[in-house]
Amino acid sequence: MTVRMKFNIFTSFVFFTLMCLQVSAQSVIRGSIRSEKDNALLPFASVFLSQTTLGDRTTEQGTFEVRNVPNGRYELIVSYLGYEPLVVPLSLQDTTLTLHLKLKPKAGQLSEVVIRKNPNRDRWLTTFKETFLGMSSAAKACRILNEDAIDIYYDEQKGQLIASSDGLLVIENPQLGYRIKYVLQGYINDYAMHYVLYYGFPQFEEMKSKNRRQQSRWEARRLEAYRGSSLHFMRSLIERRLKEDGFR
């Protein structure tokens, strides 16, 4: 097969998640989340390891604990409505790690908010979903469950469609059986330069199958999505298995 690069947020990370969780768990991450503004504890904040199924939500006392973490390098993501997402690089090796973290309020959160219906929003959202999720039949089956969380506008001077989210986007992929919580930090669709750039941090959550047959279909599709993907190519390149894995 030729090298096929699939930059879809679902297919790019599916097997990273599965392969990480096959390693024996040896580390624990615990701690608390506070506001940088007044040092108040923040309940129900999302705390997760990017590109994995591992995470937690803070309790009413603002504390969290992520157990059964395989040794390795990670990015710990903390997300809370009205605050800037926090990214903490970690290296774990038989570790019990305690973190006391503070989030910075987003600029302008206290300013007056005026809500107006934008007649172009539906059209912009359609373009956003086509470029963010993809155009394949599997991508078209995906749903963003909380589209209202997407801040989107068109910059006429720059000729760019720009989007971000306050809090987590919740996306369901029924073809692969994943629910994805995504911190969208930025999205740019530049019409003049003809490129689309987006960046953020995903957490994966396996959807509950109705029966064994559906679970088997999901597992087969995950394997199909992985084969020939950019992640498959990079793993093959590092392990010097390009020919054996069918790349040329």
How confident is the model over 177-208, as pLDDT tens digits? 999 999 999 999 999 999 999 999 999 999 99
Q: Is 72 or 34 the better-scoring residue by pLDDT?
A: 34
Judge whether residue 136 has pLDDT over 90: no
Say if residues 231 and 13 touch (Cβ distance below 8 Å): yes
Q: Count CA within 13 A, CB hemisphere, residue 218.
A: 20
Domain range annotation of the chain: 22-103, 118-238
The string of pLDDT tens digits covering residues 214-234 is 999 999 999 998 899 888 999
Judge whether residue 79 has pLDDT over 50: yes
Tokens of 7: 């930059």
Predicted TM-score (pTM) of the model is: 0.78
Q: Count CA within 13 A, CB hemisphere, residue 33.
A: 31
Helix (H), strand (E) at residue 204: strand 195-206
Maximal CA-CA distance, the chain: 60
In 3D, which of 66, 72, 12 has the Cα closest to residue 228? Answer: 12
Task: Please give the Cα distance from 242 to 248 (Å, whole number).
Answer: 7
Fold of 22-103: Immunoglobulin-like (2.60.40)
- Please name every residue paired with 248 in a beta bridge, in sequence order, or none if there are none: none
Say if residues 78 and 35 touch (Cβ distance below 8 Å): no
pLDDT range class, residue 109, cuts 50, 70, 90: low
Q: How many other CB atoms are found less than 10 A from the CB of residue 110?
A: 9
For the chain, how many residues are written?
Answer: 248
The string of pLDDT tens digits covering residues 23-70 is 455 899 999 999 999 999 999 999 999 999 999 999 999 999 999 999
The pLDDT score that the predictor gives to residue 138 is: 85
Task: Please give the Cα distance from 245 to 236 (Å, whole number).
Answer: 7
Say if residues 55 and 8 touch (Cβ distance below 8 Å): no
**Sequence-separated (6 or more) residues with CB below 8 Å from residue 29:** 65, 66, 69, 76, 90, 92, 95, 97, 99
